[in-house]
Amino acid sequence: MTSVNDLVTAGQFFVVITLELVVLFIGISFLIGLIREYIPEERIRSALQHRRHGIGNILGAAFGALTPFCSC
């Protein structure tokens, strides 16, 4: 009987995590769409190019970490 309860618990956990991730993905995709719409790519590129080499890499990694989804 405990194996059935474990399976039900695992199924509930799967459904909850899946729903949370779907909501998170939709929200982040929406925010990235807004950023891409209102902030031109040239502005981001110039902000990263005019920094010292190390600082530009760190800022680029930070932007990439904040937006880990392909938005093409």
- For the chain, give the percent of residues with pLDDT over 70: 88
pLDDT (0 to 100) of residue 12: 95
Q: Say how many C-beta atoms besides its own lie within 10 A of residue 60's C-beta.
A: 14
Task: Check if the beta carbon of residue 69 is closer than 8 Å to that of residue 36.
Answer: no
**CA distance from start to end of the chain:** 48
The span from the CA of 3 to the CA of 58, in Å, is 48
The whole-model pTM stands at: 0.59
Spans of all domains in the chain: 2-66
- For the chain, give the percent of residues with pLDDT over 90: 19
The span from the CA of 55 to the CA of 32, in Å, is 23
